[in-house]
Amino acid sequence: MNIDRNEFWNNKVSWKENGDTVLDGRCVRIKGAHYLVAPENERGMRGFGGAIFKIRWTSGPFEGEEVVTTNLWHQGTIPSDYAERLSDNAEWVKGEPIGGSYAFLTQRV
Number of domains composing the chain: 1
Is the Cβ–Cβ distance between 62 and 26 less than 8 Å?
A: yes
Determine, yes or no, domain membership for 108: no
Average pLDDT, the chain: 87
pLDDT at 31: 93
Predicted confidence at residue 109, as pLDDT, reads: 44
Residue 51 has a pLDDT of 87
Residue 42 Cα to chain centre, angstroms: 16
Q: What is the mean pLDDT of residues 47-53?
A: 89
Report if residue 106 sits inside a domain. no
Does any domain span residue 55?
Answer: yes
Question: Looking at the predicted structure, is the pLDDT value of residue 98 above 80?
Answer: no
Instruction: Provide the pLDDT for residue 101.
Output: 52
Provide the domain limits for residue 40.
5-95
* 105 located within any domain: no
The predicted model gives 24-47 an average pLDDT of 93
